Amino acid sequence: MTAPNDLANGRDNGIPEDVLGAVRRLIEWAGDDPAREGLADTPGRVARAYREYFRGYGEDPALHLSRTFEEVGGYDEIVLLRDIGFQSHCEHHMAPIIGKAHIAYLPGDRVVGISKLARVLKGFASRLQVQERLTAEVADCIWEHLQPRGVAVVIEAAHACMSARGVNTPGVTMTTSRMMGVFRDDERSRKEVLSLMGL
């Protein structure tokens, strides 16, 4: 049943009743009363939050790399976007993964607007993920669509499924990386990009 307040404000229009019902059932299963005043609008809020968390299923991150430009004054060194904060959700527990990414590439013929690298990250992060796949998907997408001479992606993140449950160990971060092209093949380039990342 749709909660009265949700009917009044109409914000749950378009959210399937079985989705609202599933959240109500989870609240009940956790031990609370989904009909009490403070929880009456919660299924709608959760459903809308899911739309935000998982908006990545509705987008193709590669499209962010379709607008490139050539005129960069002959610049042919590393381009690095450092400390890009992001959040995702682990596919095992649907718990938050919160961290930062460093994304670098060595341009070939074309460069991309720098915000687009963060958009690619957010697109893949807004899905159920494991950190290894997120890292690989971001690197592969840039490699394939920008055709640079090298790509380096390093992600450092904390997993709420480790800090807030299970092994209950806050303060742990996981680091993953994917190096492609010169950053994989050439030791000096790899060292340079890692040093620019502050690693």
Binding site for Zn ion (CB under 5 A): 90, 92-93, 95, 161
Shortest Cβ 39–ligand GTP spacing (Å) = 26
Percent helix, strand and coil across the chain, each rounded to 5? 45, 25, 30
Q: Which of Zn ion, ligand GTP, none does residue 112 bind (CB under 5 to 8 Å by kind)?
A: none
Active site includes 102?
no
**Closer CB to ligand GTP, 92 or 191, in the complex:** 92
Active site includes 92?
yes
Cβ contact 109:70 at 8 Å: yes
Active site includes 91?
yes
**Closer CB to ligand GTP, 174 or 196, in the complex:** 174
**Closer CB to ligand GTP, 63 or 172, in the complex:** 172
Active site includes 90?
yes
Active site includes 131?
yes
* Identity of the residue numbered 34: P
Shortest Cβ 85–ligand GTP spacing (Å) = 17
Active site includes 137?
no
Catalytic choice (102, 129, 131, 145): 131
What DSSP state is assigned to residue 77? S
Alpha helices in the chain (DSSP H): 4-9, 17-30, 42-53, 115-125, 131-146, 160-163, 182-185, 187-196
Binding site for ligand GTP (CB under 6 A): 90, 92, 130-132, 159, 161-162, 166-167
Query: What is the rounded end-to-end Cα distance, in angstroms, of the chain?
Result: 53
Catalytic choice (90, 137, 141, 192): 90
Query: 22: Cβ–Cβ under 8 A, 6 or more apart, which residues?
Result: none
For the residues of 121-133, what is the DSSP string, one character each?
Answer: HHHHHSSEE-HHH
Annotated binding site for Zn(2+): 90, 93, 161
Catalytic choice (28, 92, 132, 144): 92
Integer Cα distance of 37 and 23 in angstroms: 15
Shortest Cβ 134–ligand GTP spacing (Å) = 8
| Beta strand pairing call for 128-129 and 79-90 | parallel
**Active-site residues: which are they?**
90-93, 131, 159, 161
